[in-house]
Each structure stands twice: as C-alpha cells, then as structure tokens.
C-alpha cells in the first residue's frame, strides 16, 4: 500500500498525562515549531521520515524499522518488536497519511551534574492563537527532535505517533506510540459528546468512564497535552462521582460492599475495547490480601462484579461487560470477564 504524505492543519489534541504529576521539575521550555511555521525542507524531510517508519510498521518490517532507529532504542528492540507485531495486522491494506509534524528544538537541554537527562517541555502555539499543543517529555537527551502523527484510513483506523531525533541530517525513530482512534465503532469526540449527555442525565459513573475513553482515543501519546483538550479533563473532573472526586488508587481504593457485607477494594476503573464488541467494557482492578485457589478467586470476582453493578446499576446501560482483575503482591493477577447480562 502506497503511503501518502499530506499535511493538514494542526489541531489541538492530547490531555494532561500522569507525567505532569509524577515527573521531576521540568527544564526551561524549549522551542517548538509547528508545520505551518517550518521551512519546506524541514517539513518535507520530517514527513518523509515518518511515512517511511509507518510503512515499515505496516509491513511488520522490524529489521528495517530498527535500522531507522536511534542507537539507544535500537540496542534493545524487543519491546518495539512486540508492539509492531500487534499493530501491523491492524494496518493491513490501510492508506497511511502523514497528518501532523512538529520540530522540537532540544539542543540546548543540559544534563544534570550526575549525567542524567533532563525533563523537557515544548509549548507549541497553534496558528498564532492562544491554543497550544504541549509536549512534556521526561529524561530527554539533548538533541533536535520531531514529533509526527500518521493516520491510517480503514474500517478500524489507527493513529501512529513517532518521536524522532535528527542525527547527521537523518530523522531516526526515538519512540513509537500506536493507538486506535475508534472504540466499539466510535471516535473520541463521540464519547466526549455522550459523556456530556450522561452528565445531563445524572449518570455520573457512565459519564466519568466515557470521558476517560474519549481521552484515550484523542491523546496521541502520554507526554502530549493541549489547551483544547484541557477542557475535557476539566469536564471529567467536574463530572466525577463524589466517591472518585479525590481519585482512585491502591492507597485510596473505591470501597464497595456486597449484600453480605463483604467489602471490595477497587484500585482502578477504566474501559476496554479489545473484544471488539458493540459496546466497550468496564475494567476494574480489585486488591486482595490473598488470591486463593482458582475456584475461590473466580467466585470472589463474580461476587465483586455483582456488588459493583448493584451499587452503580447505570453501568449496565453504557457497557457490554465487566473485566475483574484481581491483584495481590507477588502473584499473577486473576482475570474474569463477564457480560453485564450474565452478572446477577
């Protein structure tokens, strides 16, 4: 399949990722150049490099991809190979289009006294407006970087995002971030719109989870954020049920009681579309002290599902099923998947 290099007007995308709260102090903001501000030679060379990388991913040509990768990533390529192996089948017969490119000037970044790389931030003003696309990249070696987004056009489109570094005049891959743009047949804007309607209908749990699904589909990489989709994050926070207003984590779990008085400690809630059904699923993580045997673990997962849907019955309306991922220290998680119609 021939790849088409076409650059469209950049749009604001992304959502403030967890890096923003966990990364160390950032270096002084570096220079970002959007595609409309680039010299034609820079724009064309970066777009061509991104198209070449995407073509190798589509062909599952990991050896060719590795040859176009910076040395510090190429030396241990097994992780990338695994991602390419799972991504390539989703790109079969798809038309690939380079959609957006950015140049990130990080040549002035300074390493710390101990030799560690700094955390870098790049603020990209869009079309001389107040809107921005921002990159917060942890532990970035000094250099000249590019960020490119390649869209695949097919029945199940994907977005391939690449971080590139320029070395001796060549753009080489320094990071690869593939993501689907649809879940259960709908894009991120659809989930965002549905979440707003759910807020109006007082379906706080459904709305909160649909906001999370929207963010997953619209954010090209974890280190990318923007002014535009900061609004999504603000809306999601405002729509959060009181039980989730302070967040949910292993240290601050959501506690749900079953009808028998047993407490279930949920440490994370999210969504999943890997089964490719008509609706996305709810994914829950359950913290336990001991796992027990398979029979006991399965019963506990089922009972936890019943408790969750009894406490928040609106979830039956918006989701196809529930994943219960039980976790305890030192053991593999135990996973149960059930349709909501089977949970009683």
For the chain, the domain total comes to 2
Supply the DSSP symbol for 69.
B
| Most confident by average pLDDT, 121-135, 196-210, 222-236 | 196-210
Q: For the residues 316-339, what does the mean pLDDT come to?
A: 96
Residues 67 and 169 in one domain: yes
Answer for the pair 209, 271: CB distance below 8 angstroms, yes or no.
Answer: yes
**pLDDT at residue 26 is higher than 50:** no
Which of 137, 153, 180 terminates a domain? The answer is: 180
Least Cα distance to 124 among 143, 140, 101 occurs for 101
Residues 260 and 341 in one domain: yes
Residues 175 and 250 in one domain: no
129 vs 207, higher pLDDT:
207
Reported confidence tier of residue 246, pLDDT bands at 50, 70, 90 = confident
Classify residue 175: in a domain, yes or no: yes
Least Cα distance to 122 among 14, 18, 6, 218 occurs for 14
**pLDDT at residue 140 is higher than 70:** yes
| Residue 342 confidence (pLDDT) | 96
Reported confidence tier of residue 132, pLDDT bands at 50, 70, 90 = confident
Residues 15 and 141 in one domain: yes
| Residue 28 confidence (pLDDT) | 52
Cα–Cα distance, 210 to 205 (Å, whole number): 9
Residues 315 and 174 in one domain: no
Q: For the residues 269-285, what does the mean pLDDT come to?
A: 96
Residues 44 and 157 in one domain: yes
Which of 162, 180, 198 terminates a domain? The answer is: 180
For 1-22, write each residue's pLDDT tens digit.
444 443 432 323 332 333 333 3
Reported confidence tier of residue 75, pLDDT bands at 50, 70, 90 = very high
Global confidence as pTM:
0.87
> Mean of the per-residue pLDDT values for the chain?
89
* Boundaries of domain holding 68: 4-180
Listed in sequence order, the residues at least 6 apart from 145 whose beta carbon sits closer than 8 Å to its beta carbon are 103, 104, 105, 106, 163, 164, 165, 166, 174
| Residue 323 confidence (pLDDT) | 98
| Residue 156 confidence (pLDDT) | 86
Tell me the percentage of the chain whose pLDDT exceeds 70: 90
Reported confidence tier of residue 130, pLDDT bands at 50, 70, 90 = low
- Does the CA dihedral 230-232-234-236 come out positive or negative? negative
Residues 18 and 164 in one domain: yes
Which of 180, 208, 227 terminates a domain? The answer is: 180
| Residue 10 confidence (pLDDT) | 31
Helix %, strand %, coil % of the chain (to 5): 35, 30, 35
Q: H/E element holding 318? A: helix 315-318
For 104-129, write each residue's pLDDT tens digit.
999 999 999 999 999 999 998 876 66
What the block records as the tokens of 24 is: 């160390």
Residues 21 and 137 in one domain: yes
Classify residue 226: in a domain, yes or no: no
What the block records as the tokens of 193 is: 């719109």
Cα–Cα distance, 150 to 152 (Å, whole number): 7
| Residue 1 confidence (pLDDT) | 42
The secondary structure of 33-46 as a DSSP string is EEGGGS-HHHHHHH
Residues 164 and 275 in one domain: no
Query: How far apart are the two ends of the chain, measured CA to CA in Å?
Result: 48
């Amino acid at each position: 399949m021939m790849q088409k290099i076409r650059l469209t007007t950049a749009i604001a995308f992304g959502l403030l990722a967890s890096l923003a709260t966990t990364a160390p102090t950032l270096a002084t903001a570096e220079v970002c150049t959007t595609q409309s501000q680039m010299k034609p030679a820079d724009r064309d060379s970066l777009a061509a490099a991104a198209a070449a990388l995407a073509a190798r991913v589509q062909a599952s040509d990991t050896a060719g991809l590795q040859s176009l990768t910076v040395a510090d990533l190429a030396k241990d390529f097994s992780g990338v190979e695994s991602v390419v192996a799972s991504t390539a089948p989703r790109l079969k017969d798809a038309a690939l289009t380079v959609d957006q490119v950015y140049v990130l000037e990080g040549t002035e970044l300074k390493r710390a006294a101990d030799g560690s790389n700094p955390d870098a931030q790049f603020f990209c003003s869009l079309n001389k407006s107040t809107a921005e696309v921002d990159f917060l990249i942890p532990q970035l070696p000094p250099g000249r970087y590019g960020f490119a987004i390649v869209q695949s056009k097919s029945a199940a489109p994907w977005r391939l995002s690449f971080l590139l570094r320029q070395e001796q005049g060549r753009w080489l891959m320094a990071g690869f971030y593939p993501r689907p743009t649809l879940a259960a047949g709908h894009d991120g804007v659809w989930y965002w719109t549905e979440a707003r309607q759910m807020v109006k209908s007082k379906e706080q749990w459904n709305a909160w989870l649909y906001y999370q699904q929207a963010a997953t589909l619209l954010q090209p990489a974890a280190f990318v954020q923007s002014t535009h989709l900061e609004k999504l994050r603000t809306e999601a926070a405002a729509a959060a049920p009181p039980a989730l207003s302070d967040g949910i984590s292993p240290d601050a779990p959501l506690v749900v009681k079953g009808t028998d008085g047993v407490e279930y400690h949920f440490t994370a809630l999210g969504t999943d579309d890997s089964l490719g059904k008509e609706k996305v699923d709810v994914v829950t993580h359950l913290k336990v002290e001991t796992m027990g045997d398979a029979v006991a673990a399965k019963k506990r997962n089922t009972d936890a599902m019943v408790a969750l849907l009894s406490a928040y019955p609106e979830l039956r309306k918006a989701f196809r099923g529930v994943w219960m991922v039980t976790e305890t220290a030192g053991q593999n998680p135990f996973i149960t998947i059930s349709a909501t119609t089977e949970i009683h």
